[in-house]
Chain A
Amino acid sequence: MALWQSIPFACILLPLGSAAITSVLKERWAKYWTMFVLVCLVVLSSVFAGKMLAFSGSYTYMMGHYPAPFGNEIRAGQLEAVTALFFSVIMLLSLMGGMKKVEEHLLSDKQSLYYVMLLLLSAALMAQVYTNDLFTAYVFLEIMTLSACSLITARNRGRTLVAATRYMIMNLLGSGMFLLGITLLYDLSGHLLMSNIQQAVAHLAADGQYRMPLTVVIALMTIGLSIKSALFPFHTWVPDAYGYSTPTSAAVLSSLVSKGYIFMLVKLFWRVIGLDVIRSTGILDVLFVFAMVGMVMGSLSAIRQNDVRRMIAFSSVAQIGYIFMGLGMGTKEGAAAAMFHIFAHGVSKAMLFLSAGGLADASGNHKQFRHLRGSGFRSPIAGVAFTIGALSMVGFPFLGGFTSKLNFAMAAMDQSDIRMLLVLAVLAVSTFLNTVYFLKTVITLYRKPLPGIEYPAEKGRRGFCFNASLVLFSLVNIALGLFSQNVMGLITRGLSHFG
């Protein structure tokens, strides 16, 4: 086995091991150490993605001395490689962009704990991406839930505590359902390894055995993961959690944590249960309908907000709806479009949260639209970054969001007539609503300030790291739009080796 094939293992163990060390460091050193580890993670992931381009298919890696069904193993293919790369890049840039704010919002002796949480979260995300074992997935799901929760509480205010309580209750409900699903599935199949479960489930489905428990298992796990990733009727915890936590937390939560759960769901559909069995249960139709409703309702709620952070949070609900719509189509094109949207949304949503923080800073720490007027001039880089992110979300050509909308529309062509019409109609309506609230915000940023509102004298300069992170985010966004065909090709090839 070549040395580069150990990279997934290193990507999991490096942040996991360094998290424990970070907890004893002073906040300054903890910050540098965390940055160093995350940079290492990005470098490793990009080397791995580069190597995987030439490597067709996927391979498994034993975690220990015992082969798969007896020990643990991880599995890597092109889809995993590119997902890990995107996740690590977003993680690094989100931390870079919000570092100043972290220092401002958190008490000094709690900052190193915050970095511990970020590192554990990265490790859990990497494990989530690479694992080939359902129970390992559950363990790291727990780490993700807990660390995400304390990313919210880290900024110790009444609002964040309420938000964290809500987040905790909803997420633990989701974890509980997922765990219940795993136990029942183990009882039915006798395995925890994903590929073995798929064989066993295919046998059961062919024999018609245990049909009812199997349906319940699929429903429990799917609903559990949809609760955790904030699909429409379960989205009530989103606005507070994303709206009041420190910008890095909001960026990480919306771009990475919910996406990690969705990646797990893709894995569940494609690798654990198998798409044919999933299709026969009808759960995809349920997801499809709720995704459609979410796309519209999330946007409608976003329009009503007058706080920019809450507006972006509600927009996340709508975007999660897009992703679930792709999954709900039940085809390879649909899943590929959903995966692409995970990247496109992750990259631009994190940037939106960070730049909204910068804009609010330039407006005397107010996030209401009437205070934000003219902030695009007061904090030029944040203004431009916000505009790029908003345009990408709306679906402006040359940006990631445009391609993903196009992909969804193309994927809908293979569906039955009613579903195709539904997808196209809802896409159109949702795009229109997106335009309403995002362009409204962008226009607000460049209007003359209202008379009678005082702004701090100094312009919203947030230092080198903030600006660099926003510039890099913008570049990634544009690159994702320009090279979208290559990324889509990679995702499609990855998906064909994924199951």
Chain B
Amino acid sequence: MARIRNDYENSWWPRLLRWLETGSSALDDRMEEEMEATHEGHLLPSPEEIAAQEAKREERIQRKLSDELALYTHAHQWSRTKGAKLADWAYRILAVVICLAIIFLLLQTASFLPSFGSPDNPAHNEVSRRYIEKGMEETGAVNIVAGMILDYRAFDTLGESNVLFVAACSVLILLRLSSDKKDLSSVHQLEMEADDRMYEPKNDIILQKVSTLLVPIILLYGVYGVMNGHISPGGGFSGGAVMGAGLILYLNAFGFKKAQRFFTFPVFQAVSACALTFYALSKAYSFFTGANHLPSFISPGTPGNLFSAGLIPYLNIAVGLVVCCTMYAFYTHFRKGDM
């Protein structure tokens, strides 16, 4: 039995006829229809709907408040009795006493430690001597600190940059607004924007003018700190922090709309993932060749050049990017729960 079609108008033959008649593609027609439909669906809600939403919200808030009050009275009923109060006092006094005891103990310990700056301290041994005397020659970094943290003890620093990453991810898990909350109606989104704007300067002209001047300088200084980490004081951690501070200042002056033109959540994810993966891969190569005494293409180069000191400048860039992204992510997520 042949299938019965009840939508003859939409089957291909009449569509072909229509196309021949009108000259426009039937597909185009349909797209237009669909676009109109979606457009209509997204019109602003009517005043009644807004009122209903408002009422619902009000009711929810009231309910939450009463719940909280009930919980509060329940929780504090017991602690208002006298015995509990006494226990509370004892607890506080004991806490202070224990803290004082620990402070005293630690101060006492400090007085027994080797005296500060004395040349025959145990910490002045062959390890620090080698760092100071041979550091530049072996790692190629004029800045010995960079050589220490990114070459001698690079494994620690790899862990350290992952501490930053894990901290950023913890904040994301805790504070990031989930996408199902972002699908709220436009009224709610406007409200959230208003909430965000309430405590922040709104188009503050002084802030904007000053940051127009300052932000490029701060960012450049951060980049300089990162790039010259192996030559002069600085490095990935400090330079990255400077860059992050510059970005936060820009965000404060010009708002999320402008900052989102170049720094969104996918950018954050991509940059930190790339930086950390590069770090892990390059260090894996260096550890593996080092431990197995294999030849490696990493060479110290000429100390003092911008591209010298083996992997250190690249690692500094990776660390700087991670630090910068993490700081910015902290700020935006604590402020609004999104980027």
A interface residues with partner B (beta carbon < 8 Å): 1, 6, 9, 13, 16-17, 19-21, 23-24, 61-66, 69-72, 107-110, 113-114, 116-117, 120, 123-124, 127, 133, 135-136, 139-140, 142-143, 146-147, 149-150, 153-154, 156, 180, 184, 186-191, 200, 210, 212-213, 216
8 A–B contacts, CB within 8 A, in A order:
A6-B288, A108-B178, A110-B172, A135-B156, A156-B174, A180-B106, A184-B113, A213-B112
Task: Name B159's contact: one of A62, A114, A136 (CB within 8 Å).
Answer: A136
**Set of chain B residues within 8 Å of A117, measured between Cβ atoms:** 166, 169-170, 173
Residue of B nearest to A140 (CB): B159
- Give min CB distance, B317 to chain A, whole Å: 15
B127 at the A/B interface (Cβ < 8 Å)? yes
Q: A20-B280, A70-B152 are in contact. Are A63 and B290 (CB under 8 A)?
A: yes
Q: A13-B287, A120-B166 are in contact. Are A20 and B156 (CB under 8 A)?
A: no
Q: Are A190 and B166 in touch, CB under 8 angstroms?
A: no
**Set of chain A residues within 8 Å of B286, measured between Cβ atoms:** 64-65
Q: Which of B24-32, B210-218, B226-234, B271-279 contacts A (4 or more CB under 8 A)?
A: B271-279
The 7 A-B residue pairs with the shortest CB-CB distance, nearest first, are A17-B280, A20-B276, A190-B122, A139-B159, A72-B155, A65-B290, A150-B170
**Set of chain B residues within 8 Å of A149, measured between Cβ atoms:** 170
B165 at the A/B interface (Cβ < 8 Å)? yes
Q: Are B113 and A142 in touch, CB under 8 angstroms?
A: no
Contact residues of A: prevailing secondary structure = helix
**Set of chain B residues within 8 Å of A190, measured between Cβ atoms:** 121-125, 127
Task: Name B108's contact: one of A66, A143, A146, A212 (CB within 8 Å).
Answer: A212
Q: Are A187 and B122 in touch, CB under 8 angstroms?
A: yes
Q: A150-B170, A213-B109, A216-B105 are in contact. Are A13 and B284 (CB under 8 A)?
A: yes
CA distance A23 to B162 in the complex (A): 13
What's the count of A-B pairs with C-beta under 8 Å?
178
**Set of chain A residues within 8 Å of B219, measured between Cβ atoms:** none
**Set of chain B residues within 8 Å of A212, measured between Cβ atoms:** 108-109, 112
Q: Are A69 and B109 in touch, CB under 8 angstroms?
A: no
- Give min CB distance, A438 to chain B, whole Å: 31
Q: A110-B173, A186-B123 are in contact. Are A139 and B156 (CB under 8 A)?
A: yes
- Give min CB distance, B67 to chain A, whole Å: 11
Residue of A nearest to B294 (CB): A1
CA distance A21 to B280 in the complex (A): 11
**Set of chain A residues within 8 Å of B270, measured between Cβ atoms:** 24
B179 at the A/B interface (Cβ < 8 Å)? yes
Task: Name B174's contact: one of A61, A65, A150, A216 (CB within 8 Å).
Answer: A150
Interface size on B, residues (CB 8 A): 59
Q: Are A107 and B153 in touch, CB under 8 angstroms?
A: no
B interface residues with partner A (beta carbon < 8 Å): 105-106, 108-109, 112-114, 121-127, 130-131, 138, 151-156, 158-160, 162-163, 165-167, 169-170, 172-174, 176, 178-180, 269-270, 272-273, 276-277, 280-281, 283-284, 286-293, 296
Starting from the known contacts A17-B284, A210-B113, 16 additional A-B residue pairs (CB-CB under 8 Å) come to: A17-B276, A19-B162, A19-B165, A19-B276, A20-B273, A66-B151, A108-B179, A120-B162, A123-B162, A133-B156, A135-B153, A135-B156, A139-B163, A143-B163, A147-B170, A150-B174
Q: A135-B156, A143-B163, A191-B125 are in contact. Are A70 and B131 (CB under 8 A)?
A: yes
Task: Name A71's contact: one of B105, B153, B158, B169 (CB within 8 Å).
Answer: B153
Q: Are B156 and A72 in touch, CB under 8 angstroms?
A: yes
Task: Name A61's contact: one of B122, B162, B291 (CB within 8 Å).
Answer: B291
CA distance A184 to B291 in the complex (A): 30
**Set of chain B residues within 8 Å of A154, measured between Cβ atoms:** 173
CA distance A184 to B107 in the complex (A): 12
Q: Are B122 and A23 in touch, CB under 8 angstroms?
A: no
Task: Name B287's contact: one of A64, A143, A191 (CB within 8 Å).
Answer: A64
**Set of chain B residues within 8 Å of A124, measured between Cβ atoms:** 159
- Give min CB distance, B65 to chain A, whole Å: 15
CA distance A1 to B287 in the complex (A): 13
CA distance A51 to B158 in the complex (A): 28
Q: Are A116 and B109 in touch, CB under 8 angstroms?
A: no
Q: Are B291 and A213 in touch, CB under 8 angstroms?
A: no
Q: A21-B277, A187-B122, A190-B121 are in contact. Are A136 and B152 (CB under 8 A)?
A: no
CA distance A430 to B125 in the complex (A): 50
**Set of chain A residues within 8 Å of B121, measured between Cβ atoms:** 187, 190
